């Protein structure tokens, strides 16, 4: 079932066109990736979905209802973990729930049972500076999903990590996604990450962004931690070819 639909979206920032006739959709329980070069407008799409921007033309609906009439459907995880350095881990994890009006005790009761699965049990009284990069990202992801919103928006959540930690986090995340089936929209410019995690991939052109291709990823899960298949290599090569060939449409 389609939960999110963007139809013929156009948006400019000042005199600069950023999104040019963007149409895409997201189904319940699906993992969809926006893949494109840096500066293409991927994060602008998230700003539009979270209400920070309004499109100049086109229509965005959630469950068939205009997004403006159906707000607060998204939990957003930015590129950096954005943990408050002066707050302990537990207080960082409950912050989003408290901002939405949940009492601190109730927020902690919702967070505490999840600490073990996110690899944070025993670290709830630590400060962010005392955590590894991977642990900080797990904390940021837990803070995102615990809000209970129907759709998770993840803006390059692993981009700031070193190569080894990034691979470990991707593998860890895929394991939990397969269990929870969070409806997820991911931004990345990493072709291998897109193929490893996605059900479908939208490839964006350079700014002003257009959809150059919509590609289903047929490979069975789990994909990470397994030998890379010939089909995965071929799909990665195809995606790179689309990204590098910036003339014409696919």
Spatial separation of the C-alpha atoms in residues 1 and 227, rounded to whole Å: 32
Q: At what angle are helices 104-111 and 89-99 packed, to 10 degrees?
A: 120
Is residue 226 over pLDDT 80?
Answer: no
The pair of structure tokens assigned to 82 is 């954005």
Domain boundary among 149, 181, 204: 149
Nearest to 208 by CA among 57, 75, 79: 57
Q: Are 239 and 201 in contact (CB under 8 A)?
A: yes
Is residue 250 over pLDDT 60?
Answer: no
Q: Assess if residue 79 is contained within a domain.
A: no
Average pLDDT score over the chain: 88
Arithmetic mean of pLDDT, 187-193 = 90
What does the pLDDT read at residue 246?
64
- Are 7 and 125 in the same domain? no
What does the pLDDT read at residue 215?
95
Q: Which residues contact 65 (CB under 8 A, 6 or more apart)?
A: none
State how beta strands 31-35 and 200-204 pair.
Answer: parallel
Is residue 110 over pLDDT 60?
Answer: yes
pLDDT of 35-70, one tens digit each? 998 888 899 999 999 888 899 999 999 988 988 887
What does the pLDDT read at residue 24?
96
- Are 94 and 44 in the same domain? no
Sheet with 57-62, edge to edge strand ranges: 16-27, 2-13, 57-62, 65-66
What does the pLDDT read at residue 117?
82
Is residue 165 over pLDDT 90?
Answer: no
Domain boundary among 131, 149, 167: 149
Spatial separation of the C-alpha atoms in residues 201 and 191, rounded to whole Å: 10
- Are 157 and 240 in the same domain? yes
Position 12 confidence tier, pLDDT thresholds 50, 70, 90: very high
The pair of structure tokens assigned to 140 is 């940021």
Position 73 confidence tier, pLDDT thresholds 50, 70, 90: confident
- Are 45 and 89 in the same domain? no
Q: What is the span of the domain harbouring residue 96?
A: 84-149
Domain count, the chain: 2
- Are 160 and 211 in the same domain? yes
- Are 10 and 108 in the same domain? no
Report percent pLDDT > 90 for the chain.
50
What does the pLDDT read at residue 51?
85
Arithmetic mean of pLDDT, 221-247 = 83
What SS3 state is found at 211?
strand
Count Cα neighbours of 180 within 13 Å in the Cβ-side half-sphere: 21
Is residue 248 over pLDDT 50?
Answer: no
What does the pLDDT read at residue 247?
47
The pair of structure tokens assigned to 95 is 């912050």
pTM above 0.75, yes or no: yes
Position 231 confidence tier, pLDDT thresholds 50, 70, 90: confident
- Strand pairing partners for 216? 200
Is residue 85 over pLDDT 90?
Answer: yes
- Are 135 and 240 in the same domain? no
């Amino acid at each position: 079932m389609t939960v999110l639909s963007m139809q013929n979206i156009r948006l400019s920032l000042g005199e600069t066109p950023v999104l040019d006739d963007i149409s895409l959709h997201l189904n319940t329980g699906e993992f969809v990736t926006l893949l494109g070069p840096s500066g293409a407008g991927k994060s602008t799409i998230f700003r539009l979905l979270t209400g920070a921007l309004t499109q100049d033309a086109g229509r965005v609906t959630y469950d068939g209802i205009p997004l403006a009439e159906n707000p607060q459907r998204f939990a957003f995880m930015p590129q950096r973990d954005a943990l408050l350095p002066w707050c302990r881990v537990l207080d960082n994890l409950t912050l989003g729930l408290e901002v939405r009006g949940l009492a601190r005790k109730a927020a902690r009761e919702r967070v505490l049972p999840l600490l073990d699965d996110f690899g944070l049990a025993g670290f709830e009284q630590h400060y962010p500076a005392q955590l590894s990069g991977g642990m900080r990202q797990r904390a940021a992801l837990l803070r995102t999903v615990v809000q209970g919103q129907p759709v998770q928006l993840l803006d390059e959540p692993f981009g700031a990590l070193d190569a080894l930690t990034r691979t470990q986090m991707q593998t860890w995340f895929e394991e939990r996604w397969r269990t929870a089936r969070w409806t997820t929209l991911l931004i990345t410019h990493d072709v291998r990450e897109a193929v490893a995690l996605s059900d479908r991939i939208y490839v964006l052109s350079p700014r002003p962004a257009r959809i150059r291709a919509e590609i289903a990823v047929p490979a069975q899960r789990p994909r990470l931690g397994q030998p890379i298949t010939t089909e995965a290599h071929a799909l990665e090569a195809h995606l790179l070819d689309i990204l590098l060939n910036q003339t014409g449409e696919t």
